[in-house]
Chains A and B, each alone.
Chain A
Amino acid sequence: MLWVETVINGILLGALFALFGIGLAFAFGIMRIVNAAHGEMIVLSAYVAAMLLQGIHVNAFVMIVPVAAIMFVLGYVLQAVILNRVLGNDPIPALMVTFGLSIILRNLMLEFFGADPRSINAGPIQLLGINVFGISIGVLPLLVLAIVVVLLVVFRRFIRVSGLGRTLRATADDFQIVQIFGVNYRRMYCIAMGIAVALSSVAGLMIAMRTTYSPFTGVDRLLLAFEVVIIGGLGSLWWMLLGGFILGIAELVSLQINPNAGLLYAHLVFFVVLMVMPSGLSNWRRVA
């Protein structure tokens, strides 16, 4: 029973990892920019939520909406002020700039918030559990999973059905041609980066309710995001969700075996998947 519980909880945790990866992949899919500051933005969202919670005493889940809105604006501004200046065929400048930004963000957070690991208190819900056939599942992780699934369904519908989603996809296909149909592609890039950061930040806020975060956790978050994208295969939402599940299960199972292992086994699983299926799960038949 312990193992079943561990697997189920791993899935619930993995849903959050998946959101890290989906935000990263979305930004890359639209404008071919790898945002190396993605992890720091995710951690920043937890600090933003904590600050808001000091002023306004509500349940932490209520903060999802304002935090997502604030992080959308930050992503938008990041693209408008910095990344739109380094666009081009060469992906290196954007990578360098965001790498530098990640260092700056990390140290700013260290300066303002200190190095202590913190956690966001989700209130009494944190201790609630329900019993399903003798397996105890936390209400908090279930709620988190429900929010992730709703987010993904809404996100997918937005991209597939709405006019703005269509224009974003068209911009990803051919940023030059959309211009002759009245689209300012730089603005589309800003919106895309805003969505990418906001999406992952919701996950950053929710993961801060179950584990700790500090200015240095951004690196782990980014690594997980990369692993989700690589395991799942770029551009496939549901495969990336599965990739997140695999990493989440690997992490919790390994913690059962060796409480000091941390993310080691998750990274090992990633390594094995990469060796066996170099193109990710969604393309496993294709050779890289």
Chain B
Amino acid sequence: MPLLEVTDLKSYYGDFQALFGITLSVAESQTIAIIGANGAGKTTFLNSVIGLNSEKSGAILFDGEDITHVRADRISRRGIAMVPEGRRLFPSLTVEENLLAGTTTRRSGLWTLERVFALFPALPAMRDRLAMRLSGGEQQMVAVGRALLANPRLLLCDEISLGLAPKIVDQIYTCFDQIRATGISIILVEQDIARARVSADHVYCFLEGRISLQGASGSLDLRDISRAYFGT
């Protein structure tokens, strides 16, 4: 049984329909990537899964249970966490407080503050600084650490590389190998196709709210991807 099973998901913002029947699944310990242009519905998809977008139809099963119309705070307590687009750190909280904000899911597991600090050795020295004073890359580490401290079974990552220098992105993705080794399942939303293919087992390409291409990372041809990406 897959950990997450989404069937015919349609999402709306008022009169505007953003997703037109998405069906996909994530197995235990699997990493999938979702790629696509701006406005393809990637962020809407993640927000719908975690419950931040409530205008939706279809079925979302997590660990066999229907969570389609469950509130976001309850979904996160069941074991889904997210690194939101643009990080969305809490501006008036320090680095350490931002990380601890992840623990309000009250889930026990591998991840503790010490372990997150071990994963990102740059962070302990700035634990008492306001999170917004950090560089973009450091902020992204805090956002990832915060999500890990929720001890999720499924981690949603929304455009981690957005606006960061390639070298910083490399560092963060290196850490992802360690995160994946803990057996967690991950959905990566990426605009960087090459990185998505390297990091994920399975790639889905979204185009205007639909899946335009999918397959195991190795099996996809770059030309097919570019066609599915731009819809040409």
Min Cβ gap B225→A in Å is 30
What are the residues of chain A within 8 A of B76 when measuring CB–CB? 179-182
> Taking A176-B52, A177-B84 as contacts, is the C-beta distance between A182 and B91 under 8 angstroms?
no
Inter-chain CA distance A176–B90, complex, in Å, is: 11
Stretch at the interface among B95-103, B109-117, B168-176, B197-205: B95-103
Total interface residues on A, using CB and 8 Å?
Answer: 18
For A144-178 the 0/1 string (1 means CB < 8 A from B) is 00000000000000000001001101101110111
Chain B residues within an 8 Å CB radius of A166? 93, 97, 100-101
In Å, the complex CA distance between A177 and B81 comes to: 10
Give chain B nearest CB distance to A51 CB in angstroms.
38
Residues B150 and A170 in contact, CB atoms below 8 Å apart: no
A169-B92, A174-B88, A177-B84 known; A182-B105 Cβ under 8 A: yes
Q: Which residues of B contact A180 (CB under 8 A)?
A: 50-52, 72-73, 75-76, 80-82, 84
Measured between C-beta atoms, what is the minimum distance from B49 to chain A in Å?
A: 10
Residues of B within 8 A of A95 (CB): none
A172 to B92, CA, bound (A): 9
A178 to B105, CA, bound (A): 10
B106 on the interface (CB 8 Å rule)? yes
Whole-angstrom CA separation of A182 from B104 in the bound complex: 6
Contact of B150 among A167, A172, A181 (CB under 8 A): A181
Contact residues of A between 195 and 229, Cβ < 8 Å to B: none
Which residues of chain A have C-beta atoms less than 8 A from B105's C-beta?
181-182
Instruction: Tell me which residues from 56 to 90 in chain B have a Cβ below 8 Å from any Cβ of chain A.
Output: 71-73, 75-77, 80-82, 84, 88, 90
Interface residue B146 (Cβ < 8 Å from any Cβ of A): yes
Closest to B96 in A: A166
In the complex, A183 has a CB within 8 A of chain B: yes
Asked if A181 and B104 sit within 8 Å, CB to CB, the answer is yes
- Quote the shortest CB–CB distance from A186 to chain B (angstroms): 9
Question: Once the chains bind, are A167 and B104 in contact (CB under 8 Å)?
Answer: yes
Distance in Å from the Cβ of B43 to the closest Cβ of chain A? 13
B73 touching A169 by the CB < 8 A rule? no
Q: Looking across the interface, which residue of chain A has its beta carbon closest to that of B87?
A: A177
> Which residues does chain B contribute within 8 Å of A181, judged by CB atoms?
73, 76, 81, 101-105, 146, 150
A173 to chain B, nearest CB (A): 4
Task: Identify which of A163, A169, A182, A184 contacts B90 (C-beta below 8 A).
Answer: A169
Give the residue name and chain of the B residue nearest to A235 (CB): B92
A167→B71 contact, CB < 8 A:
no
Q: Which residues of A contact B150 (CB under 8 A)?
A: 181-182
A181 to B75, CA, bound (A): 9
Closest to A182 in B: B105
| Contact residues, A54-89 vs B (CB, 8 A) | none
Chain B interface residues (CB < 8 Å from chain A): 50-52, 71-73, 75-77, 80-82, 84, 88, 90-93, 97, 100-107, 146, 150
Q: A166-B97, A177-B88, A181-B104 are in contact. List 12 more A-B contacts (CB 8 A).
A: A166-B100, A166-B101, A173-B90, A174-B90, A178-B73, A178-B101, A180-B72, A181-B81, A181-B150, A182-B73, A182-B150, A184-B73
Nearest 3 Cβ contacts at the A-B interface = A182-B105, A179-B72, A173-B90
Q: Could you list which residues of chain A lie within 8 angstroms of chain B, going by C-beta atoms?
A: 163, 166-167, 169-170, 172-174, 176-185
